[in-house]
A and B are shown apart, each in its own frame.
Chain A
Amino acid sequence: MFSLIVEMLSYPFLQRALIVGILVSLCSALLGTSLVLKRYSMIGDGLSHMGFASLAIAYAMGLAPITLSIPICIIAAFLLLRMNENSKIKGDAATALMCSGALAVGVMTISLTTGMNTDVCNYMFGSILAMSSTDVAISVVLSIVVIIMFVAFYPRIFAVTFDENFAKATGVNSNLYNMIIAMLTAVTVVLGMRMMGTLLISSLIVFPSLSAMRIFKRFSRVVIASVVIAVVCFCFGVIISYIYSTPTGASIVIINIVVFMIFALIERLRTKARI
């Protein structure tokens, strides 16, 4: 096992992938707890599809993918939140529109320019080779921002997540916190999607916190547990994908599913034991 890890770390692309992956998992688990509890679970999906479209357009225009996708995804995140608040089209419908609409634009752009090829497959399902040193730098900065924000504003984030109206009535600017969370989610999604794949990145946001919620009953513990689950699942997923040459994103999601099922089983056994 140990020699295997050493062997893996000898590849520079795997080093980068591990750093970015661990940091992205950490951020998405932190943000995910709040998003899932506020019923914004689908926001990751909406954003990743927007990211897909923007990547396709960026490639077609010959731009660096991240410079275009990050601003587009941030704008999309704002729009999604706005639509959730006050609009005739409700949140889930808006997300569904955005998902399929963006996917269509992306596919269209690709087929008109480069044509459908392995690149498209990589966007969709992710590739561990995709991480550059710029990605490493951005993910380090992002995770520092996310962690600082979560620690420093923890009481306020809890209040806004638990009861937005109450928080607003007691003078907390909950819109601001929603915006910050959506913005950081957008950056996290863009960073993670090329490794995890457009179709799989949102699992990093939902699975760890949902698993943690099966067992833990305090918000603080749920947050910490979901971070630990996310990072551990990521590492195991990468190792498995290395040994068996399976797609990285899918391997990580499978591990997450297994953990979720184990935790759900423990929860069920516990409630039975109580009765």
Chain B
Amino acid sequence: MSVLACQDLAFSYDGKDVLEGVNFTLEHGEYLCIVGENGSGKTTLMKGLLHLNKPTKGKIITGDGLKPSEIGYLPQQTQIQRDFPASVYEVVLSGCLNSMGKRLFYGRKHKQRVISNLEALGILSLKNKCYRELSGGQQQRVLLARALCATKKMLLLDEPTTGLDPVAAEEFYQMIQRLNREQGITVIMVSHDVKGVADHASHVLHLDGRQKFFGTMQEYKEQDWSFMYVKGDKNV
């Protein structure tokens, strides 16, 4: 059974259709890159997958033991977070919230999970640092660690390299690829930078208000209109 399936999805906002005809399935361990121009419905689809907004038509089916609340979400950073007084440990621990059930406080299991995720991402030394004093790349790793606390199966990344310098962005992509290959975590990445993940992503979903393309990265590269095909500026 596929881990995620979208059947004829459509979304509207303020009565206007912003996205329609989305049909795709994703198997366990695949790496999907969602691309499109601004306003093409990428963010809408992503919020739909997270159940933050409701589709006007169609269905999102999660399978393979994945509960809807168990998608590890890496949002774009907001202004609120940039000056938030919290330690790295507090931030990452908040990712364990979905496995608390009706319990009020975090248990030892959650705390161990935080430590092991910090370790896996190489930021254990930042554990007691203040989140707002970290560099952009470090903050992104902290939020990734939090997303990993929320999931063992699927990560959803929203333009994760925006605001990172090229070196930090490349390191980040490498890290995502390792998680994808070694731990078998399914990855969905909304991105402007499809070239940056050309060697990593297995599938591409191209949106422009509807589903323009869904297929493997190889097939996508062969489309003469694709962001991969045209040299230079079309990659916004």
Which A residues are within 8 Å of any B CB, using their own CB? Answer: 37-39, 152-156, 158-159, 162-163, 165-172, 213, 216-220, 222
Contact = CB atoms under 8 A, between A and B. Distances in A.
A218 B133 CA distance: 12
Contacts of B130: 217-218
Contact of A152 (B81, B104, B132): B104
Interface residues of B, number: 32
A155 B85 contact: no
B73 interface: yes
Contact of A218 (B90, B146, B150): B90
Contacts, number: 86
Interface string B65-100: 000111101010010110011110011011101101
Contact of B73 (A38, A165, A216, A220): A165
B80 A168 contact: no
Interface string B52-70: 1000000000000000111
A166 B146 contact: yes
B178 to A, nearest CB: 23
A168 B75 CA distance: 12
Given A166-B73, A218-B90, A155 B104 contact: yes
B106 interface: yes
B51 interface: yes
Interface of B: 50-52, 68-71, 73, 75, 78, 80-81, 84-87, 90-91, 93-95, 97-98, 100, 104-106, 130, 132-133, 146, 150
Given A38-B80, A165-B75, A166-B73, A218 B87 contact: yes
B80 A37 contact: yes
B75 A218 contact: no
A170 B90 contact: no
A171 B52 CA distance: 10
A88 to B, nearest CB: 10
A153 B103 CA distance: 10
Contact of A169 (B51, B87, B106): B51
A82 to B, nearest CB: 16
Contacts of B71: 169
Contacts of A156: 97
Nearest to B68: A171
Contacts of A37: 80, 84-85
Nearest to A170: B98
Nearest to B99: A170
Contacts of A213: 85
A85 to B, nearest CB: 12
A170 B97 CA distance: 7
Contact of B86 (A168, A170, A171, A218): A218
A170 B106 CA distance: 15
A162 B69 contact: no
B107 to A, nearest CB: 11
A38 B83 CA distance: 11
Contact of B69 (A158, A171, A220): A171
A169 B97 CA distance: 11
A39 B80 contact: yes
Given A153-B104, A155-B106, A217-B85, A171 B98 contact: yes
A170 B150 contact: yes
Contacts of B94: 155, 158-159, 162-163, 166-167
A180 B104 CA distance: 17
A61 B75 CA distance: 51
Contact of A155 (B69, B100, B132): B100
A193 B142 CA distance: 41
Contacts of B50: 165, 168-169
A215 B87 CA distance: 13
Contacts of B68: 171
Contacts of B90: 158, 218-220
Nearest to A217: B130
27 contacts: A39-B80, A152-B104, A154-B105, A155-B93, A155-B105, A162-B81, A162-B84, A162-B86, A162-B94, A163-B78, A163-B81, A165-B52, A166-B73, A166-B150, A167-B94, A167-B97, A168-B50, A169-B51, A169-B71, A170-B97, A171-B97, A171-B98, A217-B86, A217-B130, A218-B85, A218-B90, A219-B84
